[in-house]
Each structure stands twice: as C-alpha cells, then as structure tokens.
Chains A and B, each alone.
Chain A
C-alpha cells in the first residue's frame, strides 16, 4: 500500500522534536491518562487484597497489602504505550519489582511463561523473560499518589515495554507455566506478545 496519500491531510499533531524518537510506530503522545477496560471496575477492600504467585515455583506464596509494602520498593519512570494508539511519555509508577517477588517464590527451571490473573476475571499472558530482569513491576502508586481504581488500583502489573493491556489492572497474582496460555485479549484478536516497537497489535502482525 506504499505511496498512498490521504488527499488534503496535513497532520496537525506531529510530535515535538523530543517526542518523535520515543513514539513507537502508529502512536501519538497523549498528555492525559485514558481509561480502557472491558467491564466494571472491581472494588477491592485492602483488608481482603492478596497477591499470589503460584504454579511452577518452589515456594508458592501470597502477600497481604501490608506484607507487600514491607518488600524493598521499586519505581519506574518512562513511557507507556496503549494499543489504541496513545502513548504517555515521562510518567512514573511505584511499587515492587516482579524480580523481588519471583526471588521469594523461586521459579522452577521448567517455567517459561506467566499468566497474570486479576480481580474481575481478566487475564494476560507473558513470556517469563518479559517480567524478569528489571522489566516488570507490581505498582500501587502513579506519579506519587495511590493508583486510582479505574487505573487498576489497588495494584496493577506494569510491563511498560509491551502494549499496556499486558499491564494487567487489579492484579491478583501470577501463575508460572511451562507453556504459553493466551489471556483475555490475546484470545480475542490481539497479538500474543504486543511489542509496540514492532507494532504487534493484532493476530498476525
């Protein structure tokens, strides 16, 4: 389809000089923080909140809200990219590194993938290597304030190098598997891995 030009289209939201190299293909910079979810926002009492890691681990365990706050904290500052084409540049989140959680449960050598499962029933799948090595967090603060429920609070997964549907809202835990198991959107036409720099939006991209 090379060479097609939309008659009369000039483009009025071209990225500023500093943004262009930070925007993956097909994305635009969005100053706000749009909300996109498939169903009602679950309301989770902090007293009942748990984060579990289960599956192919030597020591499955769960953390309460107090317990997870006792772990060494970690933060992320950078860019996030939604498959619906907005990117939010220079934002920040704080919580705990997934590395810290995995160190506590000791993944078995045969574990290759994880499924994040959530309050409300959402799931998303990731290769294990996409959530370790300083690439993923469980976060409960956004830009210095508690993560609002519509953005996934009390806590969401944060995997900023992949499209943001992988950063599961209202995360309840991770299940380690020795095989891949497509999650909610991955079963409904969206790409299995979702690398924004390769523009992996949909099946077959």
Chain B
C-alpha cells in the first residue's frame, strides 16, 4: 500500500444535525473508498503556514468520491469550531485517509451486531448501519445509543427510518440528562442491566463495537466482558477526556 497522500476535498454541503453537530459532505477527487468505521485526518492551514491536524470518523457508507463526516463542535477546540461554523459549501478542505483497520465492519464479517454509542461516538457506527442498509444486509443488529437529551440525538430521524425498515435492526435510545414528556425509554447512563436487556446473550457471540467518551467505553466494555462476552469480540474506539478532536 502506498503513502496516504493529502488531497484537496470540496465541501458539497454543511448540514446541521444537532445544535453541536454538523455533517460535512465532501467530494474527494481520487478517493479510493473506505470501510465503515474508519476515520480520516483533516489538516487546516493558516495564512502564516501554521497547521492543525485532527482525526474524524467517517459517517457515510462507501459511496464513490463522496465522503461525509459528522463533527461535534468543542467550544475550546481548534479544528471542530472551524469545521462546524466557518466552513461553507464550495470551500476546500485538506484531508488524507482512510485510516484504521480494526474498528471496522462489513456484512462479510457477520454478526449479530451490538453497537453501543455515547454522543458523537455514534458516527462510525452510523457508517456501519448505513452500509448495512445500502447493501441489503440481513445481519441482525442492535444499536444502544446514549445522549444527553432528545435534541442531542444525532441522526435521529434517519435512525428511526432505518429501524422501521424491518430488516433486523433495532435502535434503543437512552437519554441521560433530560427526557421529553411521556418518554418511556431509558433515562439513565448505559449500564449492565441495559446491556443485558438490549444486547445479545454471550452465547449468541455478537460482534460488539463500542464508541464514545472514555468513561462510557471503559464502563461498557468492562460490563460486556463481565456479562460473559468474549473480549476478543468487543472492539472499542474512545474519545479522550478533554475531547481529542
């Protein structure tokens, strides 16, 4: 495999997902495709030559030269405020990738799938679910997704549509801080009881992908192992305590 070279992508669309998260749809000439779950590197360059680089998970299924990121704005961040607030359709963005060969899923890898997300950790899992739908995969899949409030749920409508397709996907939301009137779903952080209720039994040997803030990932991965799941089938991706992006 050759060097991952920097490419100039063009911003086709900036689409708000929640108050803090925006999807950037990019056209990347020469993009060789990616596996759902992979990320790419973004490099910003100021006029004086100063650069800042960060990695972002790819949200879209493989689709030619079109690549979508979903970026959460971190108020004290350097790159995410630029991507979510400054960048406009028609702007150019320097990137290289795809990167990462472990936290990835394709239908051929089988299942059943247990996807567990906290906040913007849903982004690489969304790439898997979009790819699963696009390929007509029938691999049974369950997404357990924790957000602070309903307004913070990224891809909410699309997830509802995917779950209604009747192709073996269930989506379960947990709202940790605020719940709308009449909310009957989970109203607490993901815990072992929830994983037992929503997840697969260890004997069904699910492939688990867990992504989110370190505290959530550390807890969920530990609980899955304690419930009897094979640690080798639990893959994790973590965001740092101060937010790596």
Q: Give the contact-size bracket for chain B.
A: 35 or more
Interface status of B163 (Cβ within 8 A of chain A): no
Residues facing B in A31-63 (CB within 8 A) are 31-43
Interface status of B170 (Cβ within 8 A of chain A): no
Interface status of B138 (Cβ within 8 A of chain A): no
Known: A8-B86, A35-B240. A14 touches B50 (CB 8 A): yes
Known: A40-B231, A41-B218. A8 touches B241 (CB 8 A): no
Known: A1-B6, A6-B44, A188-B100. A204 touches B52 (CB 8 A): no
**Smallest CB gap from B54: residue in A:** A85
Asked if A31 and B218 make an inter-chain contact with CB atoms under 8 angstroms apart, the answer reads: no
Cα–Cα distance between A13 and B80 once the two chains are bound (Å)? 12
Asked if A35 and B214 make an inter-chain contact with CB atoms under 8 angstroms apart, the answer reads: yes
Cα–Cα distance between A85 and B79 once the two chains are bound (Å)? 12
Interface string of A3-23 (1 = CB under 8 A from B): 011111111111000000000
Interface status of B45 (Cβ within 8 A of chain A): yes
Asked if B94 and A4 make an inter-chain contact with CB atoms under 8 angstroms apart, the answer reads: yes
Interface status of A140 (Cβ within 8 A of chain B): no
Asked if B92 and A85 make an inter-chain contact with CB atoms under 8 angstroms apart, the answer reads: no
Asked if A84 and B55 make an inter-chain contact with CB atoms under 8 angstroms apart, the answer reads: yes
Report how many residues on chain A are interfacial, defined by Cβ distance under 8 Å.
Answer: 43
Interface status of B197 (Cβ within 8 A of chain A): no
Interface status of A183 (Cβ within 8 A of chain B): no
Q: Which of B14-22, B149-157, B221-229 contacts A (4 or more CB under 8 A)?
A: B221-229
Cα–Cα distance between A28 and B76 once the two chains are bound (Å)? 13
Residues facing B in A166-198 (CB within 8 A) are 184-185, 187-189
Cα–Cα distance between A33 and B244 once the two chains are bound (Å)? 10
Interface status of A86 (Cβ within 8 A of chain B): yes
Contact of A35 among B4, B55, B222, B238 (CB under 8 A): B238
**Smallest CB gap from A28: residue in B:** B52
Cα–Cα distance between A34 and B241 once the two chains are bound (Å)? 6
Cα–Cα distance between A40 and B209 once the two chains are bound (Å)? 11
Asked if B82 and A38 make an inter-chain contact with CB atoms under 8 angstroms apart, the answer reads: no
Majority-rule SS of B interface residues: mixed
Interface centre among A184, A185, A188 (most CB of B within 10 A): A188
Asked if B241 and A10 make an inter-chain contact with CB atoms under 8 angstroms apart, the answer reads: no
Interface status of A30 (Cβ within 8 A of chain B): yes
Asked if A4 and B8 make an inter-chain contact with CB atoms under 8 angstroms apart, the answer reads: yes
Asked if A1 and B8 make an inter-chain contact with CB atoms under 8 angstroms apart, the answer reads: yes
Interface string of B72-101 (1 = CB under 8 A from A): 000001100010001000011110000111
Interface string of B25-64 (1 = CB under 8 A from A): 0000000000000000001111100111111000000000
Cα–Cα distance between A4 and B9 once the two chains are bound (Å)? 12
For B92, list chain A residues within 8 Å (CB): 4, 6-7
Cα–Cα distance between A6 and B11 once the two chains are bound (Å)? 12
Residues facing B in A82-104 (CB within 8 A) are 84-86
Cα–Cα distance between A90 and B94 once the two chains are bound (Å)? 31
Output the least CB separation between B114 and chain A (Å): 13
Contact of B51 among A10, A26, A36, A37 (CB under 8 A): A26
Contact of B221 among A40, A85, A187 (CB under 8 A): A40
Asked if B1 and A203 make an inter-chain contact with CB atoms under 8 angstroms apart, the answer reads: yes
Cα–Cα distance between A37 and B103 once the two chains are bound (Å)? 11
Output the least CB separation between B102 and chain A (Å): 5
Asked if A204 and B242 make an inter-chain contact with CB atoms under 8 angstroms apart, the answer reads: no
Given contacts A37-B236, A202-B99, could you give 10 more A-B pairs where the C-beta distance is less than 8 Å? A4-B45, A6-B91, A26-B53, A34-B238, A34-B241, A35-B214, A39-B236, A40-B221, A40-B234, A204-B1
Enumerate chain A interface residues (CB-CB to B < 8 A).
1, 4-14, 26, 28, 30-43, 84-86, 120-121, 150, 184-185, 187-189, 202-205
Closest 8 A-B residue pairs measured CB to CB? A34-B240, A204-B3, A188-B101, A40-B221, A13-B78, A32-B242, A6-B44, A35-B214
9 contacts between A and B (CB under 8 A): A5-B45, A11-B46, A11-B50, A31-B242, A36-B240, A40-B234, A42-B231, A85-B244, A204-B3
